[in-house]
Chain A
Amino acid sequence: DTGVSQDPRHKITKRGQNVTFRCDPISEHNRLYWYRQTLGQGPEFLTYFQNEAQLEKSRLLSNRFSAERPKGSFSTLEIQRTEQGDSAMYLCASSPLLQGLNTEAFFGQGTRLTVV
């Protein structure tokens, strides 16, 4: 399977616990995005990497959220001290940069987080 892979697919955690999600982008895609989506809403941008550099982070993103892409390949998204409002689908996407132009993004199936 050469698509974007996210792990786990589902996560149930107690309020206050930390959680970490992993995203494996399509090989050689240098751009990687994290989004959050709640029911009935569109994906909300969280952060973006180009290779290992985190180039943009949403101002709406709480400091409890942190993302890394240490070797420019896979990425992790950590949420510390989870709150019930963090319950959502967390989507990862990757895309290549071709001749300096943005191209289509390929999305994973997402990690559904439920905070109880």
Chain B
Amino acid sequence: SQQGEEDPQALSIQEGENATMNCSYKTSINNLQWYRQNSGRGLVHLILIRSNEREKHSGRLRVTLDTSKKSSSLLITASRAADTASYFCAPDLGANNLFFGTGTRLTVIP
């Protein structure tokens, strides 16, 4: 499959806790992107990590990439209720499109 597969499918945590989501893929990539989607809305780009990078930070987000294991993780620190959303990874094969998995549905309980 060209798409990323997120794990877990659903995650429920208390506000203030950290949330970790994982993504696995099967082919070589140029980069990998993470997106967030609030219910019924469009996707919002969170972070892009290139294949020659191992870790990237953006605010409370930390993304790691292990190309040898074909996996990536997204860590959200000090979660907030507003972080409740679905999170998708999208491996970029360097071709012309992005393929998405079914996502991780994160619920942050106030």
Q: Hey, which bits of chain A sit against chain B, CB under 8 A?
A: 4, 31, 33, 35, 40-45, 48, 50, 55-56, 89, 91, 93, 101-110
Contacts and interface: CB of A to CB of B under 8 A. Distances in A.
A26 to B, nearest CB: 12
A92 to B, nearest CB: 9
Secondary structure type dominating chain B contacts = loop
B96 A56 contact: yes
A107 B102 contact: no
A104 B33 contact: yes
Categorize the interface residue count of chain B. Answer: 20 to 34
Interface string B22-45: 000000001101010000111111
Nearest to A31: B96
Given A31-B96, A42-B3, A45-B97, 5 more contacts: A43-B88, A91-B42, A102-B30, A102-B31, A105-B98
Given A91-B43, A104-B45, A109-B41, A48 B103 contact: no
Contacts, number: 56
Contacts of A91: 42-43
- Chain A contact residues: helix, strand, loop or mixed: strand
Contacts of A45: 97-100
A42 B48 contact: no
A33 B100 contact: no
Contacts of A108: 42
Contacts of A104: 33, 45, 48
A107 B44 contact: yes
Contacts of A48: 96-97
Contacts of B102: 40-42
Interface string B68-101: 0000000000000000000010001011111111
